[in-house]
Structure 1
Amino acid sequence: MNYKAIGIMSGSSLDGLDIVFAEFQEQGGKWSYEILESACYPFDENLKIQLRDAVLLNALDYQLLHTSFGHYIGDKVNQFIKEKNLEYQVALIASHGHTTFHHPEKKMTAQLGDGAAIAATTQLPVVSDLRAMDVALGGQGAPIVPIGEKFLLNEYEYFLNLGGIANISVNQSPYIAFDICPANRVLNMLAQDAGKEYDEGGKMAASGNLHQDLLDRLNGFEYYKKPFPKSLANDFGTALIYPAIASANIPVADALHTYCVHIAQQIAASIEIGIKKSSFKAGGKLLATGGGAFNSFLIEKLKEKLKLLQIEVVVPEAGLVNYKEALIMAFIGVLRWRQEHNVLSSVTGASRDNIGGALWMGQPA
């Protein structure tokens, strides 16, 4: 079977809307893919502020933003289709939305970007609310990307996404994945303190110095002691980690340097604990994607830490680094369309594997 679908990702780093048009082929239970077109549409400053502060809105204004962001996503998809000459080629759209509230312990998660609004704007079938079913079944609702890694990128032992939050997947049976620590969301906030959108290539971090006292404080947060499965809300980084760094009152370059070391340490520590418990395989290759894979200083520190565990860090070509999550959102949508499991309970802790996503039929009957 052959499927051509659009996947959409709005990450916690608030850099923009990632859109991928991909073709998926299934033959005898084996899947292959090709990214045919891709683009990132940056958020303007006003929209960034709206998304960042959405958790502060009253109920009505939150719902109005949910609707308006859905229409915005639909408009961007229409623009993408027109720019890439994809009219009448797209069978399905899958949109992750923008995560605001995430409280799996209360069986609740929320992503902005109304699927009905996207479907109405594009006149195409849309799958949205990808995490909700898993959370309702007692799962973390995160990470959900591992289903795509398992079927599309099976040659690696580990998968690391360095997005707004750093999360890892372990390619084994049962499949394991969890959130490790905040990453680009906090790094970008620190870079913005120096008047830059982000620390390009990790150059500022590389020029800074390590502050051991701050590093020890960061490593002491209770979340890092919890066993997997576990997941993080964005406010762990914005409301706890960033203020802890800011209170140290150190130069931005030093803060970036120290936080990059913290990220690398937490990734290595998570893997080492898994190996010691015989949960994870020792050695192998780790595929690093997400915007943080372009941070040379962070990758350097990560390679230093993981070399001790005989794990090779692989950074793929830029297309997969930038658009892996959007690609897998499209794949999750295809599985939902086929009414097949698209979220793994071994990853999330839900009571069973599940078929996540609400389906909105944008075209007339």
Structure 2
Amino acid sequence: MVYRAIGIMSGSSLDGLDIVFAEFGENAGQWQYEIRAADCYPYSADWVSRLKNAVSISARDYQLLHADYGHYLGQMVNRFIEENHLHYQVSLVASHGHTTFHLPPHMTAQLGDGAAIAAETQLPVVTDLRAVDVAFGGQGAPIVPIGEKLLLGGYDFFLNLGGIANISVNRESYIAYDICPANRVLNMLANEMGKEYDEDGKIARSGKRQQELFLKLNNLDFYKKEPPRSLANDFGTDHVFPIIKNSGCGIPDALRTYVEHIVEQIKNAVSGTGLPEHSATTFKLMATGGGAFNTFLVEKLSEQLKEVNTEVVVPDKYLVKYKEALIMALIGILRWRQEYNVLSSVTGARRNSIGGALWTGQEA
């Protein structure tokens, strides 16, 4: 069976809207994929501000923003279809939305009204991908592991270096969890120097690690929690970032220290999975997400993971940048097929679930 779908992802780092059009084939439970088109539409300053401040507005204004953002997403999908000549080729749109409130096991909320997307695109649309898992007592995150399991394989670990860094461990009982804030905090620090982000980690490379801050970050209570565990965006913005700011470090030193903090937490996550200490096997970790373009971060990570017999592999730039949007499309297809698309072994829910609300935009 062949499916052609669009996946949309808005990450916590607010660098833009990732859209992928991919063709998926399934035969006897084996999946293949081809990315046919992909793009990232940067957010305007107005949209960055509206999304960043969404958690502090009134309930009425929040619902209005939810609808407005849904219409915006639909318009961006239409633009993507037009620019890539995809008319009449797309059978489904799956949108992650933009996470605002994430309070498992009580609730999770992503902006981007599915009805509005469906009305703009006049296509079937799947949204609210995390909600059912949370209702079943899960963390609602990460949800990407189902796509890693079905589409990628061949690696022992999958690391996403997005606004939040998370890891998947590819073994019989598949597990995955959030590690620590990543690009969102790094970008906030770069913003202090008038930069959108620290290109290639050049500013961090020029700094020096501040040991007191490094130890303080590594001793945060969150890192003592056992998986499954997940992070809301505000852990990085409202808790971690103020710790760094209040340390009095210059920005280069702060960036250097935070890069090394991210690396330390990833190393702890990899070594904490029970890998044999003296194995002759070299384990493989696929790194994707915007942080995989941070040359300095990847260098430091490769150095540290060699100590636990693990090789860092950065795939082609399409997969690095668009893996999550690609997997959103697959999650939407699985929802359409009414098959499990969220793994309870990852989230801690009572059972696997079929996540997503389906909105019908086409005519009868």
TM range (shorter): over 0.9
Paired residue for 2:44?
44
Paired residue for 2:64?
64
Cα shift at 1:304: 1.1
Cα shift at 1:272: 1.2
Paired residue for 1:364?
363
Paired residue for 2:329?
330
Paired residue for 2:258?
259
Please, which runs of 5 or more residues in structure 2 have no aligned partner?
A: none
| CA RMSD, 1 decimal | 1.4
Distance in 2, matches of 1:321 and 1:36, equals: 15
Paired residue for 1:130?
129
Give the TM-score, by structure 2 length: 0.98
Paired residue for 1:23?
23
Distance in 1, matches of 2:211 and 2:298, equals: 20
Q: Is the 8 A contact 1:162 1:290 kept in 2?
A: yes
Please, which runs of 5 or more residues in structure 1 have no aligned partner?
A: none
Aligned length, in residue pairs: 363
> Which runs of structure 2 are paired with 1:221-260 in the superposition (5 Å)?
221-260=220-259
Q: Is the 8 A contact 1:191 1:198 kept in 2?
A: yes
Distance in 2, matches of 1:250 and 1:136, equals: 42
> Which runs of structure 2 are paired with 1:186-201 in the superposition (5 Å)?
186-201=185-200
Residue identity in the other structure for 1:215? F
Q: 1:302 to 1:339 in 2, by over 3 A?
A: same
Q: Is the 8 A contact 1:164 1:185 kept in 2?
A: yes
Spell out, residue by residue over 1:290-336, the C-alpha distance to the aligned partner (whole angstroms, 9 max, x if none).
00001011111111111011100000111001000000000000000
Cα shift at 1:284: 1.1
SS of equivalent residue, structure 2 residue 311? strand
Paired residue for 2:93?
93
Q: Is the 8 A contact 1:345 1:354 kept in 2?
A: yes
Residue identity in the other structure for 1:123? Q
Confirm whether residue 119 of structure 1 aligns to residue 118 of structure 2: yes
Distance in 2, matches of 1:12 and 1:50, equals: 13
Q: Is the 8 A contact 1:159 1:168 kept in 2?
A: yes
Paired residue for 1:344?
343
Paired residue for 2:14?
14
Structure 1: 4+ residue segments shifted above 2 A: none
Residue identity in the other structure for 2:284? K
Distance in 2, matches of 1:213 and 1:288, equals: 29
Q: Is the 8 A contact 1:142 1:178 kept in 2?
A: yes
Paired residue for 2:33?
33
Identity %: 65
Cα shift at 1:275: 1.6
Residue identity in the other structure for 1:182? P
SS of equivalent residue, structure 2 residue 272? helix
Paired residue for 1:163?
162
Distance in 2, matches of 1:247 and 1:327, equals: 39
Residue identity in the other structure for 2:39? A
Cα shift at 1:28: 1.1
Distance in 2, matches of 1:49 and 1:42, equals: 13
